[in-house]
Structure 1
Amino acid sequence: MAHPPQIRIPATYMRGGTSKGVFFRLQDLPVAAQTPGTVRDALLRRVIGSPDPYAKHTDGMGGATSSTSKCVIIARSEVPDHDVDYLYGQVNIESGFIDWSGNCGNLSSAVGPFAIAAGLIDPARVPRDGVAVVRIWQANIGKTIVAHVPMTAGEVQETGDFELDGVTFPAAEIQLEFLDPADEGEGGGAMFPTGNLVDELEVPGVGTFQVTMINAGIPTIFIDAAALGYTGTELQDAINGDKDALARFEAIRVQGALRMGLIDSPEQAATRQHSPKVAFVAPAQDYVSSAGKRIAATELDLHARALSMGKLHHAMMGTAAVAIATAASVPGTLVNRAAGGGEREAVRFGHPSGTLRVGAQARQVDGQWTVTKAVMSRSARVLMDGWVRVPGDSF
């Protein structure tokens, strides 16, 4: 019996923020996978090693967590005033699909460095030393991200002393600006899709909760930790080891998605797991991070915990961080209340791995809340580059 050989595809394995993913230039993919569809999805699933009923990704590049089961495709941009188009796929671990419904804010920090190293940026726009400004078109949601990438001796600077909670080693700082991160064209196109800062959300079989539902960074449903019986300082094991708790969170997510207009029926939620996110918030208090670091309430404005792909995230998704900062800047939201109320243009919140500061400027225009940009710092590093190999009959 003849067996097809493996094929080699140029690829780079990168860490961006607290996530990891396999990066491709669009032009390097097999021709049949250069356009969206079943062939592309089958290829990328095989690269990651999904679907995997063992949930280990032993036979692929995935890391068997939502933050390490990701693929990115980069191409020279066809959008005016942008350098590259950035397409992100969240690969489900145990099921056979890829969610293209949102962005990964953490991997956004790796797009600029990858694009420069891959020769996708006009060399005239890249300084030998200093900071290269890369304008990124986030193709999943149709938004602009501006990355400020440090350069040294003509190459992307990856090492440095910038520390990011959730990442073990320091690296060079990359500042990201998420321009006009609200109004993704979903849920009616409004930052608050129901028109309310706080809604009553009835969840059959679970209860009725006050929630803030927002489209900013990524559609997110916020709920008070106390309403769920939590303190807001929980770490991963407290949530991910509780199947009943995970089922409740998914039920909340489904009902919130319906109210936000993101899905038409509960059944659609099964193939849209990347968004909306569910997050719970609480006032600042002392806690111990997953790394054993003691963090005082005086270092924080509030606590936030968010779920990604059905599990509590080990740190905080970059897009959810944008949602947190945006909601915190709007007086009256549950996030703003947890932070102590009032007007603010930046917030520092505690998450399982430590703390994160994000800036956001919100304002009302004709009675509607909007946000011009959100700003945060991340880091990125190439872990390996060369070729990824997949069986020739896998896509």
Structure 2
Amino acid sequence: IAPATYVPPVPFPLQAAKLEMTEIGREINALAEKTPEDVVNELFENDQVRALMLYVCCHWGLDYDQAGVGYLIPLYLDRATNYRLVAGGSHRVSSALLKSIFENKGQIRTSAQIKKIMVENGTAKGIELEDGTRITAGKAVVSTIDTHQTFLKYVGEDKLDRDFVDMIKIWQWEKWSLGHLHLALEEAPNFKAAASDSEINKAFIYLLGYESLESLKNHWEAMRTGELPETAGCNCCFPSIHDPYQAPPGRTSGLISQMAPFNLKKGGSERWLNRHFREEWAEKRRATLEKYAPNMTRDKVLWTYITTPADIENKFANMVQGSYKQGAYHPLQMGFLRPNQDCSQNRTPIKNLYLGGSSVYPGGCVIWGPGYLCANAVAEDFGIKKWWPEPEIVTAARRKELV
């Protein structure tokens, strides 16, 4: 499954037929039609373990009762046991990318708002900025923003086929986003459970507040109607325990994250911008942490920073409704249909316009697949020699005829 992330998608019938040729492929096909809840109930017996595993399967965007995307479940279970931490903080990733662009004689323009993608006779010619500046494309225009903005806002419906426009308009966003509480703490949390196993205090990710499978499902059901239960659980981590660079000596950095609806039943998305509501939400998350780690009292919190689904949309223009994958993981928005059959291989109906963001196959969550595949497509179309190698996992999978 992971190697397929870096291989162009093929139509579902062909993909299913290819998978049927191997034993592991047949297992993946069988999983595809099961819901995450089905799989978790089949594999595990303990109710709390089931809740943990269902959370792991669905936290990044799967509906617990939705069939058709079950093939992603093994991948998510694997990721949960192979978490990674960026030394020095996640901003180091963007800094590394920035450095690579400059080293390859690229430019980055900040605070530059795009007005439109210039299209002539069905071909992308460049972009025009809001200040009137025009940047002509030497070869191609590559967009990593969502399809709504790329095509409806910047290309324009008048330059697109009506059926294609309709496909773009029915795109579904995620049903939930994330709320975050960043913490500067006087000391590291000491969890009750660590009394029997001190290693628990050194865990990377904690899941708190879900004592049963039903309590987790209730959280998801509430989000579907724009509600956020008082007792909803959350996950948390304390990066400086594993990377001392991220906090002064003796202090601890922390992050609490909770799945939350963008449009709240009471007050809509605007309610997330209400200071009192935000602080009340954050205090409930801290209280949940204190329930499991009693030393995490209010006086141990030196500083907080809150981000809500509405903040995510306001800060990042292409994260519509707090979207963190540029679109829901729905059977009709995955594989060869992400975002649709005309664009899933990075090329678009507009010549020399390419897609390389999370709205295109294989999807989002910092997996690099869309960008890698887009770079390959551009290089192949323009006869550019690739200076990057194929990922080793893809080469190994090819030898076994798995991709």
TM range (shorter): under 0.3
Structure (1/2) with the larger helix percentage: 2
> Computing the radius of gyration over CA atoms, which structure comes out larger, 1 or 2?
2
- The TM-score normalised by the length of structure 2 is 0.27
- The TM-score normalised by the length of structure 1 is 0.28
Structure (1/2) with the larger strand percentage: 1
